[in-house]
Amino acid sequence: MIAFLRGNLERKTEEFIYLGVNGVGYQVYIPSFTYEKLPGIGEEIKLYTWMSTSMYGGNTLYGFLSMEEKEIFLLLNSISKIGPKDAIKVLSKISSAFSDFKKAIIEKDLRVLTTFFGLTKKKAERIILGLKDKITGLEIKTSDRFVFKDHQCIADAISALVSLGYKTKQAKDAVSAAMENLGEETEVEKIIKYALKYL
């Protein structure tokens, strides 16, 4: 098992990177949010890695900038019928608010998981069932822009923006920015108003 790799960034996309380590090039798949945090081409980077081995697909490397991200990925990957490809996609969706994802799992809050994190109801139910007894012991050091003060209002605001044609990530970022300005204010109409200004 390759626990981590340290090398020079040779190529980067939102889906994978090429990492040069002692003359060997590794293709490493990453969560989409990692792309924005990558250094420039030719610069050194360290990734915590996990290898998936498939009889038909060969070996696939997945890389993470922190052990926290890797641990959450492994938890997701441990759920029945959610393999590494699905786990990396889910991780990408929950990246903006790890602590809120944990809270939603503990509280079995399907609305937050489907509206804020963009998961299907079936996948959200499967994740709750698979993680409810595992995620409570996971210490999450988060740099989230905000933690939900009112799940219902946040979910409603994001849902309203998505219905207007904005992508889920755009809606989440806009609501996050709105909450920074509004503080304790949790009226849906005001959240949407500020979020639209941001957009």
Q: What gap in Å lies between CA 125 and CA 114, rounded to an integer? A: 10
Place of tokens 């799992």: 105
Q: Which residues of the chain form beta strands (DSSP E)?
A: 4-12, 16-21, 24-29, 44-54, 58-64
- Cα 78 to its chain centre, rounded Å, is 16
Q: What gap in Å lies between CA 153 and CA 156, rounded to an integer? A: 5
Q: Report the pLDDT value the prediction gives residue 57, as an integer from 0 to 100.
A: 65
Place of tokens 């990530």: 169
Q: Would the pLDDT of 166 be above 60?
A: yes
Q: Report the pLDDT value the prediction gives residue 82, as an integer from 0 to 100.
A: 87
100 close to 146: Cβ distance less than 8 angstroms = no
The better pLDDT of the pair 177, 4 is held by 4
| Exposure class string for 33-67: b at 16+ Cβ within 10 A, else e | bbeeebeeeeeebebbbbebeeeeeeebbbbbbee
91 close to 72: Cβ distance less than 8 angstroms = yes
| Best CA proximity match to 45, nearest among 30, 60, 55, 56 | 30
Using only the alpha carbons of the chain, give its radius of gyration.
Answer: 18
95 close to 124: Cβ distance less than 8 angstroms = no
Q: What gap in Å lies between CA 34 and CA 120, rounded to an integer? A: 23
Q: Taking the complete model, does pTM exceed 0.75, yes or no?
A: no
State which amino acid sits at residue 145: R
The better pLDDT of the pair 135, 161 is held by 161
Which domains, ranges and CATH numbers included, belong to the chain? Answer: 4-65 (2.40.50.140), 78-137 (no CATH), 151-198 (1.10.8)
53-106 tens-digit pLDDT: 877 767 899 999 999 889 889 989 999 888 898 899 888 887 767 777 888 888
